[in-house]
Structure 1
Amino acid sequence: MSIKVTKHSIDKETRSVISGRYKRITRAINRSFWNSESETEHSMYVGSYGRGTAINTSDLDVLFILPESEYNHFNSLNGNGPSRLLQAVKDALLATYPLTKIKGDGQIVSVDFSDGIRFEILPAFKRMSLWGWDGTYIYPDTHMGGNWLSTNPRAEIDAMNKKDAENSTNKLLTATCQHIRYIRDKYFSSYHLSGILIDSFVYNHIGGWHFTRQGEDATRSINTFEEHLLNEYNRVSFNGLITPNILAPGSGMPVDASKGWEVLGKILRKMV
């Protein structure tokens, strides 16, 4: 049985809880690193929640911008500076949530609440050039003795929002990304398929498809939208024989498709 694209979302009450915790987390880190009580400055939703494609609360990504002086400090330390940075962020959060499970994990500090809501805090620094901030961020990676990686989530969010607008896909982009997550979680939960791979594939291959706009007559097509996505998957991967290069929306950064490409094909076939 095919499972056609339908809309999924996080309910309003849960979003309110998320917002309240986001503000407390932001204030806790601002207090330690910026000497500020602000609940909104220096932080932003990123990842699936930031791109508007999340359907659950098990992975809420928040990027937090820290002062450049902190980067200079942790980068100059002997040993694993990125690991020490995560510990400092963890300590800042424990001051507000002393009984909550908080730990550093590779590149983020996770905050696991008892109701299943999980925040992943990514401490980051603006990457500066001779001409000022270049729009990207650098963040810690504790693996292999510690190093620094780069990301550009704002470009990804802006690109998704632009293509999701009424004059483009009219919300079909986010609905499709959410629907693929729904099928993944319901039927293929033992597989690894990242949100950024889902969003990047749909963004790059949605073509001219869109939800019917107000006052617009529905158009007829030889294939359904779901068939179009499967055809695109087969085209770029030679019917699943190879894993193609995938680039993230807006930022153009490479997306690791090695672990999730096969199950993405399974999901697309289930949708047809």
Structure 2
Amino acid sequence: MIKHIDGINYDTRSRISERYKRITKVVNQTFWGSDSNTRHTLYVGSYGRGTAVSTSDLDILISLPAEQFDRFDGYSGNGQSKLIQCLKEATQTTYPRTSIHGDGQVVVICFSDGMRFELLPAFEQICTQGYNTFLYPDSNLGGTWKTTNPKAEQYAMKDKNRTSNGLLFDTCKLIRTIRDERFTSYHLPGIIIDSFVYSAIAGWHWGSPGIPSDSGKYEEHLLDTFNKKFTFNPTPVILTAPGSEQSVSAEVNTITVLQKVLTYMTK
């Protein structure tokens, strides 16, 4: 069932780019005093890791000046929530008739054509080794700061996709496609898909005599790997994100959806 997956079409990419630049410009005007529509933002999530399909959300990391961290961290009560609200208000000036709301860690923009952007405000932390990490706000439970390392994840995914001759990205995209077409009532985040496939793919790759497109052996390998890892494990299941090696927690209902998709792929 694994096959080469076509990318997002040109018209969709054009709309994504146009909206991305408008969002970036208003963020830079508000927080950096700049009119740039390219600086201080980064595609993250499925789109940044190269595993997005046409139905995927667009995740954008918004890099903010260090002094803004001091400003919001200094609030007496849940400065993280106030930061989310401030970013929401800035974005609303560009899209005043679009549905925009804060949701825990992100600002969510829901366009009328079904496209959904999630904006994550963050503060870059200089690291002496590897890629710089980012602090981002979590407004739940009174507010905390958490850490993410998207550039490490993106590099690791792209490197393994190269060594697998494109099989890694194709597998992740196919799982998303099956999820969206056959299991629409279930929730299966992209980071769960990518983390699992990254860890399970082992030495499989396009072009190997061991995985002709109609054999099903690779699909059976993925399902067998899943069953060995997770069938008897307590919940929530902990996966490790590619590259960053940060823990990714998955509740039992999320893991069950992944199992359903992998089982479907072996038929």
Equivalences for residues 134-213 of structure 1 within 5 A? 135-165=132-162, 168-212=163-207
Aligned equivalent of 1:256: 249
Alignment of 1:26-65 (within 5 A): 26-65=24-63
The code of the aligned residue for 1:146 comes to: G
2:28 counterpart SS class: helix
Shift of residue 9 of structure 1?
A: 2.9
Name the TM-score, length of structure 1 as normaliser. Answer: 0.90
1:99 Cα deviation (Å)? 1.4
8 Å CA contact 1:8, 1:178 repeated in 2:
no
The answer on 1:246 being equivalent to 2:239 is: yes
> How far apart are residue 95 of structure 1 and its match?
1.7
Compared CA separation, residues 199 and 58, structure 1 to 2 (3 A): closer
Distance 1:36 1:132 in 2: 30
**Structure 2 residue aligned with 1:106:** 104
Q: Distance in 1 between matches of 2:187 and 2:118?
A: 18
| Residue identity in the other structure for 2:186 | Y
Residue 132 of structure 1 deviates from its aligned partner by 9.9
Q: Take 2:82 and 2:95, find their aligned partners in 1: how far apart are those partners?
A: 19
CA 1:191 to 1:66, structure 2 compared with 1: closer, same or farther past 3 Å?
same
Distance change in 2, residues 1:132/1:199 (3 Å): closer
Show the counterpart of 1:19: 17
Q: Show CA shifts across 1:42-73 (max 9, x none).
A: 00100011111111345110001000000000
Structure 2 equivalent of residue 91 of structure 1:
89
Deviation at 1:127, TM superposition (A): 2.3
Which residue identity lines up with residue 58 of structure 2 in the other structure?
L
* Alignment counterpart, residue 230 of structure 1, candidates 223, 246, 267: 223
Q: Partner letter of residue 137 of structure 2?
A: P
Percent of paired sites with the same residue = 49
Q: Alpha carbons of 1:208 and 1:58: their partners in 2 closer, same or farther (altered >3 Å)?
A: closer
Structure 1 equivalent of residue 259 of structure 2: 265
> Aligned partner of 1:262: which letter?
T
TM-score for both structures, normalised by structure 2: 0.92
Question: Do 1:229 and 1:268's aligned partners in 2 also have CA atoms closer than 8 Å?
Answer: yes
Distance 1:220 1:118, change over 3 A: closer
Inter-CA distance 271–94: structure 2 relative to 1 (3 Å threshold): same
AA matched with 1:35: G
SS for the counterpart of 2:19 is: helix
| Alignment root-mean-square deviation, CA | 2.0
Task: Name 1:218's counterpart in structure 2.
Answer: 209
- The 8 Å contact of residues 124 and 134 in structure 2, kept in 1 or not, is answered as yes
CA shift for structure 1 position 155: 0.5
Letter in 2 for 1:92: A
How many aligned positions are there?
261
Moved over 6 A (4+): 220-223
Alpha-carbon distance in 2 for matches of 1:119, 1:263: 24
Alignment CA distance shift 1:248-1:211 (3 Å): same
Give unmatched runs, 5+ long, in structure 1. none
How far apart are residue 219 of structure 1 and its match? 4.0
> Which residue identity is paired with 1:142?
S
- The aligned counterpart of 1:70 is 68
Q: Distance in 1 between matches of 2:130 and 2:206?
A: 37
8 Å CA contact 1:58–1:116 kept in 2: the answer is no
Q: Which amino acid aligns with 2:223?
A: L
* Per-residue deviation, 1:255: 0.8
AA aligned to 1:69 is E
